[in-house]
Structure 1
Amino acid sequence: MTPYGPRPTARGPHTAAASDRRRTFPPDPESTGPAVTWWGRAWVAALEDLSLDPARLARGRAYADAGHVDAITVTPGRVVAYVRGSRARPYRAELRLRTLVPEDWDAFLDAAAADPAHLESLLAKTVPQALLDPASPLAEIPLLPTTAGDLLPSCTCPDAGRPCKHAAALCYQVARIVDEDPFVIFLLRGRDEREILDALSHRNAARTATETRTPPTLPGLPAREALTRTLAPLPPAFPPPPHPGTPPSYPPPHLRGAPDPLALDHLATDAAHRAHALLSTGTDPIAALTPWQDAVRIAAAQPGSGLTAATRSLYTSLTRALGRTPTELAKAVSAWRQGGSGALCVLDTPWDPPAGPFDRARSTLLVLGLNFRPTHNRLTAGRFQLRYGQDGLWYGYASDTGHDDWWPEGPPGHDPVDVLNRLRGA
């Protein structure tokens, strides 16, 4: 094996590929619990076996559980993150792991491609447990740290422990990342997910091409007997899966001409949930939506609020396709989160309600000393506005003083006074 970290290479066609082997994982503000997969538990066991101080490990686990580890960057042979300790400025913790030489990678990939079960497991993005079986050829190539010199922690804190509590916290947080994505282990040893899967696919195709397959001999049946035979009833249909499937991996954003991977991931996840609902209930939950309503629904499913760097590409694609602006979409997303398609209709379509609840609401507000000016289905006073929907609900809106730029605020309700009070409180 090579020294710690990736082997230096001369400037050439492989330099760009090496620089792309980097993944960054956002911080986890709350503990996700201990590792549940065998490879996540194996990482923790290897860490605890190599540690010289169980007390520091316990403090490191507490730091990880409390969300003290910021964003984690993984590159071949190295994991880096800032860990917040007792002082205001965080410490920079680092883990270094030996990378595998090409001969070790060839031996591992040949052994994995030779066994259909191992190959199927890796192509499904899980790790075969044969890695821990001393009798398996896969176990001859160590992916997990096995000796005290194989995993080197370091930290900018003054503690000289091995590891200190900050590096231990990073170790436990890496275990949770590995639990969710075992290919992080392969990246630490020098190769990313796409390199592994491509190499396995090539080896599998080559092995299949060299094999001579004899077609199985099927039992024959006279045509007359086949036509007169009473067939057994078809077996019942398979039950739908308990959850939608996981989207595949997507091309990296640096690839020229490739679609945005975040937008692809969101659309694939949305399609999986829609297909699962159709399979489970026989009904498409969004079949009745217009293209604009569906675009707003897709954008509203993104976490966070407003137009951020993470949503900018998706917003641009959706608005360009529908001839709208990102600001219009952002306002529509606020309405959708307020009350779905009904709230979106209240945002886009003014209407004249019949005499009844609308007039009674205005009278109630006047009795309370609140003079709201009516316009269509809207009551406006200062920087607050109440809109009456055709579903019988009142929707709150707010605007900056002196501006006519109304944005949905808060949940709707049947009582306009309650909606106004929530609007004022916000």
Structure 2
Amino acid sequence: MSPGAGPAPRPGPDDLRRSFEAVPARASDAEGPFADSWWGRAWVDALESLSMDEGRLGRGRTYADGGHVAGITVTPGRVIAYVHGSRPRPYRAELRLRTLSASDWDTFLDAVAARPGHLASLLDKEMPHSLVDTAGEAGIRLLPTAGDLDPDCSCPDRGWPCKHVAALCYQTARLLDSDPFVLLLMRGRGERELLDELGRRNAEHSARERPDAPAMPSVPATEALADRFLPPLPAPLPLPPYPGEPPSYPELPGARDPLGLDHLATDAAARAHALLTTGDDPLAGLSTWQDAVRIAASRPTAGLTATTRALYRELAFATGRTTTDLARAVAAWRQGGAEGLDVLEHPWDPPAGPFDRARPALAAADFPRFQPWRNHLTDARGTLQLRFGRDGRWYGYESDAGEEDWWPRATPDPDPVTTLTAVRR
């Protein structure tokens, strides 16, 4: 993986928590370095200096190459991920790293602000040697050594580190390849906070270097905030009671289906009217695929008319999917909206809790034995399946025996027994 080509982070609740999707498996190159950047290789060197067991390191690298490391979460002083090992449930691997003190950060930020090239390199997702050297001269160690890393894992192996933590370390090196701000977050500060502070310090540094620069014209705050007469704003235009009708689209050879265009225009008008009346567009955060599924799901459910089939073809073509993909996604959307679609398309590893209590509850209700895989529970015949959503609800699925052709069924419920009973009906 080359710098800049890493997995995109999912938005976190704030700047001090970044979550990265699992990296797909790749072909292992036993002779070459695992990381591409020099700072990523320095991270790997710290890991390999920490361990005295080359066998565990080799198995950890194989796990990382094979895509066994699930999504990684990075917070100050901590890197956490679930790593799939020899048992069905993954192990929780964690790596702790010492954060910098407030005085260390002050020194480091002054060193970066003093040289604009440092800031430009960071914005290009590069970690220049000169920046690390400057920090080191000030007694600040950005890149870790063996003594900085403190591993921990839920597996029974007492290796230091075990192969699961080793896999997490190798995968973290690939994150560092694409974004050195991940390393700075491990040391205690988030990217947005750092860039804001560096911008302020850079401006102050530039002002000190040009003390004779002419003063910028300004207005005293008392004058800017003083009460003064402002003419009233014109009255807003009256809001129509309902969205307007779309124009009529002619049916032309080679053109898109006019009824499909009519549906899209009507949908856009309804959203615009809702935005004007409420000030909020609840669909603004949807991806192109999610919005296509929502539009298809809004069509009547009593049979696929010619218009609906044409709309499905248009939406499937526009999103690079098949009409079967779209029909399955529509069933998931009608089952649970955007959350139902996420359950259909994205398996995940739920934490301990409700997922673990589901199988005993199903057994107590005299249901056959279910096999777990990530957030899925599948019966032995391969015809019924429950999927645990991130919203804490269970989603029912059904397939023909041996087909692995799962379709959403029934209404999701927090109780797996209730969901499965509804699917069997």
Taking structure 1 as the reference length, the TM-score comes to: 0.48
